């Protein structure tokens, strides 16, 4: 089986790495917080002291880190993957970052004979733990096919969407869809409550019809019971929406719904709610309405 270097052991990365170990892949891990790497060492992973050393004996190097500058540092920095990875190896970045930065990194790696796939994921920590992530992959088709068995360990819906950067672009489409839909769920719940309808009954009545969505069925009930624990934090959602807005600006494309929900989430952040789950968006709507569910 291909030897894997795995960099980034946060909420998403740790369970994903666990699945690879369970499937029998030899994995070398690196994380800035060493305790997280040591926990996976107990499951059979080797540990490394830098991204470069994690890459040195790996045929596939997976990164899943917070934001574009972090990925650039891990892959191209002084102790980055590019200094350890061998020609013929593949870097799979599963973070959500800038499509243009992804294309630039792919070019730099190619100069060293290293292939790259951008393969951001959707499904949150629940999907990472269950191995049911949706994975959208950009890069060469033949490299995608070579790495498909690895993707199949981590996700259920795996789609090759085009060349370098296209995986990131489709992920940003995903984030536009989920965030604007989340806003619609908030408005519908508040409208039901204000009009005298039990929001839980409203969800029951609509979730299997034309208005069905993951946000309605999964986040709506959490809004009603005031469960704002993060499956996906507002701060991380805001990072993704910023990337989508930047890409839309580069394309000279108006995205008014996206801009609105980004501002509403900014209200959450101003209220100290940035580490809460994205379902806490309803709090911003409640403040605007001067009306709360509870």
Q: Write out pLDDT tens, residues 47-78.
A: 999 999 999 999 999 999 989 999 999 999 99
Q: Report pLDDT for 79.
A: 94
One domain for residues 140 and 264: no
Q: Report pLDDT for 231.
A: 84
pLDDT digits (tens, 9 = 90+) for 121-164: 998 888 999 999 999 999 999 999 999 999 999 999 999 999 99
**What's the burial of 48, exposed, middle or buried (CB within 10 Å: 0-12/13-18/19+)?**
buried
Give the N- to C-terminal CA distance of the chain in Å, as an integer. 54
Residue 46: strand pairing partners? 28
Domain end (from 147, 163, 179)? 163
Say if CB 84 and CB 55 are below 8 A apart: yes
One domain for residues 85 and 180: no
Among candidate residues 137, 108, 93, 69, the one with its CA nearest the CA of residue 5: 93
Say if CB 91 and CB 114 are below 8 A apart: yes
Among candidate residues 224, 226, 219, 221, the one with its CA nearest the CA of residue 278: 219
Q: What is the CATH number of the domain that holds 242?
A: 1.10.1040.10
Say if CB 192 and CB 198 are below 8 A apart: yes
Q: What is the CATH number of the domain that holds 108?
A: 3.40.50.720
Q: Is 171 a catalytic residue?
A: yes
Residues of the chain with pLDDT below 70 are: none
**What's the burial of 6, exposed, middle or buried (CB within 10 Å: 0-12/13-18/19+)?**
buried
Point out the catalytic residue in the list 22, 36, 112, 171. 171
Residue 92: strand pairing partners? 62, 117
One domain for residues 152 and 196: no
Q: Which domain does 181 fall in, by range?
A: 169-289
Q: Is residue 197 assigned to a domain?
A: yes
Q: Is residue 116 assigned to a domain?
A: yes
Q: Is residue 32 assigned to a domain?
A: yes
One domain for residues 97 and 179: no
């Amino acid at each position: 089986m291909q030897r894997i270097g795995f960099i980034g052991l946060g909420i998403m990365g740790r369970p994903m790495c666990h699945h690879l170990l369970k499937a029998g892949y030899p994995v070398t891990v690196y994380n800035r917080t060493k305790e997280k790497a040591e926990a996976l060492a107990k499951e059979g992973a080797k540990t490394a002291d830098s991204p470069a050393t994690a890459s040195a004996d790996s045929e596939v190097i997976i990164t899943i880190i917070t934001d574009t500058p972090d990925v650039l540092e891990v892959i191209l920095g002084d102790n980055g993957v590019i200094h350890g990875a061998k020609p013929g190896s593949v870097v799979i970045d599963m973070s959500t970052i800038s499509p243009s930065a992804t294309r630039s990194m792919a070019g730099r790696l190619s100069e060293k004979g290293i292939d790259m796939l951008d393969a951001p994921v959707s499904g949150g920590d629940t999907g990472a733990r269950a191995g049911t992530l949706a994975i959208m992959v950009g890069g060469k088709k033949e490299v995608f096919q070579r790495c498909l068995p690895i993707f199949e360990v981590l996700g259920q819906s795996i789609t090759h969407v085009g060349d370098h950067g296209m995986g990131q672009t489709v992920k940003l489409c995903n984030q536009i869809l989920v965030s604007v839909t989340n806003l619609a769920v908030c408005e519908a719940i508040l409208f039901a409550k204000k009009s005298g309808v039990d929001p839980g009954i409203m969800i029951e009545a609509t979730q299997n019809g034309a208005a069905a969505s993951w946000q309605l069925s999964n986040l709506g009930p959490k809004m009603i019971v005031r469960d704002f624990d993060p499956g996906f934090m507002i701060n991380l959602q805001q990072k993704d929406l910023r990337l989508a807005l930047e890409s839309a600006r580069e394309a000279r494309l108006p995205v008014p719904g996206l801009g609105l929900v980004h501002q509403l989430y900014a209200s959450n952040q101003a209220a100290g709610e940035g580490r809460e789950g994205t379902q806490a968006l309803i709090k911003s709507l409640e403040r605007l309405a001067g009306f709360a569910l509870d």
